[in-house]
Structures are given as structure tokens and as C-alpha cells.
A and B are shown apart, each in its own frame.
Chain A
Amino acid sequence: KAGVTQTPRYLIKTRGQQVTLSCSPISGHRSVSWYQQTPGQGLQFLFEYFSETQRNKGNFPGRFSGRQFSNSRSEMNVSTLELGDSALYLCASSVPDENTGELFFGEGSRLTVL
């Protein structure tokens, strides 16, 4: 069974640009969550999607957005990039409503903003 796949793995952008990151969850997993991780910080929750609906959203500005497609694949977009957006963006999938507290993470997309 393939794991969570995130693309691209690495990318460099400049301030003001926008970026789109992609996530393919484990087959059968319909919940996808996104997290931002910066050095010395924990994982900051961005949003969670299930059946193409955003069920929860973290405390990030509106520049951060996401969506989920009918095949459960998800994308997140960051517009008007700022230096502080440089981070590892992690996607995780899970089987919803099982309350096992288990997320399956991808390797992440490392974004550098210059």
C-alpha cells in the first residue's frame, strides 16, 4: 500500500509569488490534513478536509487556502508569499471517524521563500 505522497518535495520561490502543493493520501483515506512546521516549532494545523469539505481551519491568514478533490487528493495554495512562509508543509491522511489519533504523514514539501 503506497504511503502519502507529496509533491514537489522541494521548491524555492520569491516574495510575492504564489505556490501550490499537492498531496495524494493513502488509498481509502478520505480525510486529509495540512500542517506547517518551522524550525523549533511544533506542527501548526492549517486545515482538514473530508469529502471535499473543509471541516476545520487553523489560525492562518487567508493567503493560505486548500481544497480536496473527489478522489481525496488535496492541494494547498499560498498566495503573496512572505519570507516567514518558509517551512516544511506536511500533509497527513487518515480514516475518518475512527478516533484512533493516528495520522499518516507524507515526507513534506519544503518551501524556501527568498
Chain B
Amino acid sequence: GQSLEQPSEVTAVEGAIVQINCTYQTSGFYGLSWYQQHDGGAPTFLSYNALDGLEETGRFSSFLSRSDSYGYLLLQELQMKDSASYFCAVDSSYKLIFGSGTRLLVRP
């Protein structure tokens, strides 16, 4: 089977750093993606890791360890607008398999 585990909810303070972890179990792995979805909106792509290591895109960074079947999304200098749901997704054979999502609440 295929499964992804990520925390259901995370709360952090504006300006802080937060890390959202994702562990996966899947057959056919090409990479790990991260998506952001605001309430009522469409999911939007944040980052993709095909190889082990850290990818940085502005305030967001994503990490992958293929040997540990583990990745995380790091959000720095949190802003109120970062309050949203974040999904990790495994790039498998002609499909992305999504986790259940982590709801991030940023407090003032």
C-alpha cells in the first residue's frame, strides 16, 4: 500500500520558524512535493525534491531523505498569510499521492 503521515495541526507565532514533517511508504518513488492550500482555494505548488538534501525557495525550504522515507517543509519568518493547509505528496507512477495535510495556524 501507499501511505503518507504528517501532523494534522501545527500552531506557531508570527516571525517564528516551523517544520512540517512527512513520512511516506510507497512503491514507485520519484520525488516529494509540497503544496499549500488556503481555505476555499486551490492547492498551489511550493517545492519538489527528487534527490536527498535541502531545496530553498525564499522563506520556504524542503528536505528529503530517501533512505529514511522522510521529508520536511521548513517555513521561516512566518507571516499571518502562511496560515493554510500544507500537503506533502509522493510523485509515483503517473500520479501524486497526497498526505492528509497539516493545518498551520500562525498567531500574532
Interface residues of A (CB under 8 A from B): 31, 33, 35, 40-45, 48, 50, 55-56, 58, 90, 99-108
Q: Which residues of B contact A58 (CB under 8 A)?
A: 95
Asked whether, in the complex, the Cβ of A43 is within 8 Å of the Cβ of B43, the reply is yes
Q: Which residues of B contact A108 (CB under 8 A)?
A: 42
Interface residues of B (CB under 8 A from A): 4, 30-33, 41-45, 48, 50, 87, 89, 91, 93-101
CA distance A31 to B97 in the complex (A): 16
Q: Which residues of B contact A99 (CB under 8 A)?
A: 30-31, 50, 91
CA distance A65 to B106 in the complex (A): 39
CA distance A56 to B94 in the complex (A): 6
CA distance A37 to B15 in the complex (A): 31
Q: Which residues of B contact A50 (CB under 8 A)?
A: 94
CA distance A48 to B32 in the complex (A): 18
Instruction: Identify B43's interface contact among A31, A55, A100, A105, CB under 8 A.
Output: A105
Given contacts A42-B87, A42-B101, A43-B87, whether A103 and B42 have CB atoms under 8 Å apart is no
Q: Closest residue of chain B to A99, judged by CB? A: B30
CA distance A39 to B98 in the complex (A): 14
Asked whether, in the complex, the Cβ of B30 is within 8 Å of the Cβ of A48, the reply is no
Q: Which residues of B contact A101 (CB under 8 A)?
A: 30-33, 45, 48, 50, 89, 91, 96
Asked whether, in the complex, the Cβ of B100 is within 8 Å of the Cβ of A42, the reply is yes
